[in-house]
Amino acid sequence: MKTDNQQLTLFNVVEKIESSTSTITELRIPIFSPVQKLSGNSVTAREFKNNGGIRTIHTSWGKVEIRGRKLLTQVHRDLLDCIYTHAAKIIPLPTEEVVIIFSQTKILKEYSGEEKSNSWEKQTKWLRDKIKEIRDITINYVNTKGDSFDFNLISHLDYLEEHKAYSITLDKRYLKFYERELSINYKKELPKLLKVDSALTKAIIRWFFTHKKESRFKLLTVLDALGFPTDSPKSLQVAKRELRYRVGELQSFGIDYSQNDEMFYYLGNSGVGFIPSLFNYSSIPLVESEKPTINITTKDLIGEAILFDGNKVLLKNISYESEGAFVCAAYVETDDQKNFRIVNKNQLNSEEFETEVILYLESLLYKE
């Protein structure tokens, strides 16, 4: 009976994989760096090397630790998207693993838009090398609830004589993660996405695909979520300059970017679908508590001095980030760029969350 249940679960996962491009979490946390190629002199590459091939990033969507010989980029994500979208066959195994069979020619054609050329052997070797780089990466992800997942995206790359094609095997630990995660299908948008020649823009687009509803987020929030080195002034200026020339491209995917307030506004995308978790989570009833009353708004706090990280700073601006009607965070800007976010962890309504933000900021007010 246990074997039957395992097979049923595997077939459910196969159906989910066939209907998906990726899990949402893989795009919301920085598993794939927002670059085309990592320079050995980059801040990220140096940090990875100095830490012995380990990179740890904390975001509002959880903590991720990446271990391996080489960090993954948007190129690796592109290739995985192509394999998931153009798989010849997806087969569940008795070992609780899943095999995805694909044509190298088809994947390379979809990725580059070019037909088979004289350098085909060189191109296919490049493709296999990139897949091996994905295979060699181990990911440890801890979500905001404290649940931990340790897995490889790919466990094997094999040539199957029976099918005259290559295949990747998905590790059973990854499949357990895949089962419980909300996944996303942007296969309709993939041809257009692959034509975007900016890796940073491509990463931002993928990140916004993971949001079901209209939403707004500050630039720094999105860059931090992507693992971009926002603490490097030079890198940050390069990113801002890049986005100035990508406004129209972002709009074609339903994303508006305001350069003046450095805010993204996502309008949603009808070409993106969502596939639920295979688990049903029961809701936990909340006990209502007495609501505190206040007589000021966040605007009344602008210009006030607070003590933050041991420094006296002035509140410059307070804006809200949202997903649909839900306000997920307050973004607080200060006069010396010591900006920070206050996350709506208790999922309060907008009025209650504003009260929580005001009370928190009042607790930080600088007193002579």
Domain count, the chain: 2
Backbone angles phi, psi at 262, to 5 degrees: 50, 55
199 with 309, same domain? Answer: no
Give this prediction's pTM.
Answer: 0.81
CA 145, CA 61: separation in Å to the nearest integer?
10
Domain that holds residue 313: 298-363
Residue by residue, pLDDT tens for the chain (368 residues) are 344 445 446 658 899 999 999 999 999 999 999 999 887 778 888 888 899 999 999 888 889 999 998 999 999 999 999 999 999 999 999 888 999 999 999 999 999 877 666 688 899 999 999 999 999 999 999 988 889 999 999 999 999 999 999 999 999 999 999 988 899 999 999 999 999 999 999 999 999 999 988 899 999 999 999 999 988 899 999 999 999 999 999 999 999 999 999 999 999 999 999 988 876 543 333 334 445 556 788 888 898 888 877 788 888 899 898 887 888 888 998 988 778 888 887 778 888 888 888 878 877 787 76
Whether 343 maps to a domain, the answer reads yes
CA 92, CA 179: separation in Å to the nearest integer?
14
Cβ–Cβ < 8 Å for 204, 250: yes
Whether 290 maps to a domain, the answer reads no
Whether 162 maps to a domain, the answer reads yes
CA 59, CA 28: separation in Å to the nearest integer?
9
Report in angstroms the alpha-carbon separations of 283 from 60, 287, 347: 22, 13, 13
Q: Which of 209, 225, 240 is the last residue of a domain?
A: 209
Whether 58 maps to a domain, the answer reads yes
126 with 14, same domain? Answer: yes
